[in-house]
Structure 1
Amino acid sequence: MSQKISLTRYLVEQQRVNGHIPAQLRLLLEVVARSCKGISQAVNKGALGGVLGAATTENVQGEVQKKLDIIANEVLIEANEWGGHLAAMASEEMDSIYAVPNRYPQGEYLLLFDPLDGSSNIDVNVSIGTIFSVLKKPDPAPGKAAHAVNEQDFLQPGSQQVAAGYCVYGPQTTLVLTVGNGVAMFTLDREQGSFVLTQENVQVPADTQEFAINMSNMRHWDEPVKRYIDECLQGKEGPRGKDFNMRWIASMVADVHRILTRGGIFMYPWDKREPNKPGKLRLMYEANPMSWLIEQAGGAATNGRERILDLQPGKLHERVSVVLGSKNEVELVTKYHNAL
């Protein structure tokens, strides 16, 4: 690009010129971006900052937290609670919602986030990231007085999101964002301290020859997933008529970023180890924002049978199977599931 366009300018144009977002949402997204810059600095320091390794606590899912999980969660809360844009926040690392304290002005938006996705990669210097989603606080029913924000207010289908994105902390720190008008990527210019637009109108190719899945779980998969992966592995000699490569980073942010950049399919399906759980990933903090980004870039996202963005959440930390990426591949996997 001949002229550098900052994230602030991009958001101002989305608000003023294109009319896609109101001023309060623009300001909220700028605060989230500043939070990500702070997390990026902590990640970059690594062992020098004493941020590596596990903490002594567990999150609501019973997973041992990393020190950076806790740091990132605190950075996001402290940066966003006082600005007047939010009514409440919810995090994968917290048991329940975090209502904005009464000493601060109350906004009309709800922010959800996975503060540090890919925690298993922290200590080995592999890309990790922050995922976020913004919802509008529901208006009170006709004739009803406004109520204090509660967990039920967050339980909206992903199709109701007004903004979503992630920040990947890799060789570059890259912020990827949608406000319902396509997908844009911004790279952190460390010398200037600002995110700069580096790609607009991101598009995921409809076809691909790359798949991302944890192959060590193959023996636990359902038959449609086994069928799809087996056909990929047969290559040119099989029914697909082409060779596939496998990619698996064990960081959803990094895997989705690769798909947005060059195509592919990402799968984290239900399996037989915990048959009562519909999947591993969290609907509200991971699947919904990533699915909207992928759809905004021309891809598709399902739980194997249904469009993820149409799912009605039943609880804050609900889990879901995820199949997302290049449209034709996702549709094939979905077809195999629905044929049962």
Structure 2
Amino acid sequence: MSEPGKTKFQIDLRRHLREQEVDDNLIHLICEIAEASKYIIHSIRTGDLGVAGTSNLYGEQQLALDVLADRILRKRLDHSRVVANMMSEEMDEIIPISPDCDGKYSVAFDPLDGSSLVDVNLAVGTIVSIFEGCDLLQPGNNQVAAMYILYGPRTTLVYSVGNGVHEFGMNNLMEYTLLQENIRIEPSGNLYSPGGQRNKYTPGTEAFVTHLEERGVKLRYSGGFVPDINQVLLKGKGIFFYPHLNDLPKGKLRLLFELNPMAYLIEQAGGAASNGHKRILDLQPEEIHQRAPVFIGCKEDVKLAEEFIAKMETNQNEEESKTQAKKNSSKK
């Protein structure tokens, strides 16, 4: 993909997008988001780590950095002139930008995923999902691009426009230059990142985790969705999951802002993403802040999780049927 005579470190983000013959408006949009990340990383390094004094729609206190990152991204997207609608995880409604959908895009984003980790100096990130036109409530399979930016020891940007997954690093001039192209994930791995309290796992998830432990799979979990997915992607192996819990049957993570873009990237790298029963990218959003369980990473491991869940649910249904039958017979 890179031109002869050019090293990968001389290929910047805009040039890389042009080489893939991406639509000019989409190039502009992705580069605007990359520009916004420069202000976000500056805010993380120098900004206020206190509470903003406001709550988001989930009743969670918003950190000052949450609010600032959201403001930076919204302003950049608003002024890009290529955005029809945008939706932030921090907001409770879609923000219309332009009534003209032709040649424009709709963007859903989590401005600072894992922001509670900033004050203990752990990695956080920005997650972005891009659809063509005005409609954001579409299955993730219709995305035309997805990306995340990881603010860690290095600042890196990972994106896909449906032609593989590519990683860029921010250099000393705060420019994104190519680190690696066409990242691939192995069929199965030896790492797992489990979200949620284990004592609240359903029998299927518990059986799956027990199997992983017996297989010698190592637990590696940071508490941040972006760094944990980045670990799976760049190591080329592993699985992340935040499953349905006994007291949280729909899981924790949001379909539009977190799961769709990450599932798109992981699938582009040869992996898979499921809610435990079906492909994440096939899910039809019914509401903006819809949640879903997720098992995402190596294809064979995701399939194995689905098999354990299906088996345990079948066993549970059979036991319930037997119990009900006994109750019915005792009444006669």
Same fold (TM over 0.5): yes
The equivalent of 1:117 in structure 2 is 113
1:210 and 1:95 map into 2 onto residues whose CA distance is 35
Against the structure 1 CA distance between its residues 332 and 36, is the aligned structure 2 distance closer, same or farther, given a 3 Å change threshold?
A: same
The match for 1:5 is 11
What is the distance in 2 between the residues matched to 1:227 and 1:297?
A: 27
Relative to structure 1, the CA distance from residue 22 to residue 221 in structure 2 (aligned partners, 3 Å threshold; closer, same or farther) is: same
Residues 1-340 of structure 1 aligned to structure 2 (within 5 Å)? 1=7, 3-15=9-21, 21-45=22-46, 49=47, 51-100=48-97, 108-137=104-133, 153-189=135-171, 191-214=172-195, 217-234=197-214, 242-262=215-235, 263-275=237-249, 278-339=250-311, 340=313
C-alpha distance 157-105 of structure 1, shift in aligned 2 (>3 A) = closer
Q: CA–CA distance in 2 between the matches of 1:192 and 1:7?
A: 14
- Once the 2 structures are TM-superposed, how far is the Cα of residue 297 of structure 1 from its aligned partner? 0.4
**Identity, % of aligned pairs?**
39
Q: Identify if the C-alpha distance between structure 1 residues 230 and 74 changes in structure 2 by more than 3 Å, giving closer, same or farther.
A: same
Q: Counterpart in 2 of 1:148?
A: none
Aligned-residue offset at 1:65: 0.8
Match of residue 143 from structure 1: none
Instruction: Using the TM superposition, give the Cα deviation of residue 127 of structure 1 relative to its aligned residue in structure 2, in angstroms.
Output: 0.1
Distance (Å, rounded) in 2 between the aligned partners of 1:268 and 1:59: 21
Corresponding residue SS for 1:154: coil
Give the distance between the partners of 2:34 and 2:42, measured in 1 at CA. 13
Report the Cα distance in structure 2 between the residues aligned to 1:60 and 1:131, rounded to whole angstroms: 19
TM-score computed with the length of structure 2 as normaliser: 0.88
Counterpart AA for 1:268: Y
Amino acid in the other structure paired with 1:23: D
Conservation of the 8 A alpha-carbon contact between 1:133 and 1:289: yes
CA contact 1:59–1:65 (8 Å) conserved in 2: yes
Q: Equivalents in 2 of 1:3, 1:81: separation in Å?
A: 31
Deviation sequence 1:206-225 (CA, Å, 0-9, x none): 1111110136x111111110
- Asked if the contact 1:54/1:67 (under 8 Å) is kept, the reply is yes
Between the aligned partners of 2:98 and 2:262, the Cα distance in structure 1 is 29
Q: Which amino acid aligns with 2:27?
A: R
Give 4+ residue runs of structure 1 displaced > 3 Å after superposition. 104-107
Task: Give the counterpart letter for 2:50 in structure 1.
Answer: G
Q: CA deviation at 1:274?
A: 3.1
Counterparts in 2 of 1:12 and 1:67: CA distance versus 1, 3 Å: same
Output the TM-score relative to the length of structure 1: 0.86
C-alpha change, 1:193 and 1:274, in structure 2 (3 Å) is: closer
Q: CA 1:243–1:105 in structure 2 vs 1: closer, same or farther (change >3 Å)? A: closer
The CA distance in 2 between the partners of 1:100 and 1:58, in whole Å, is: 24
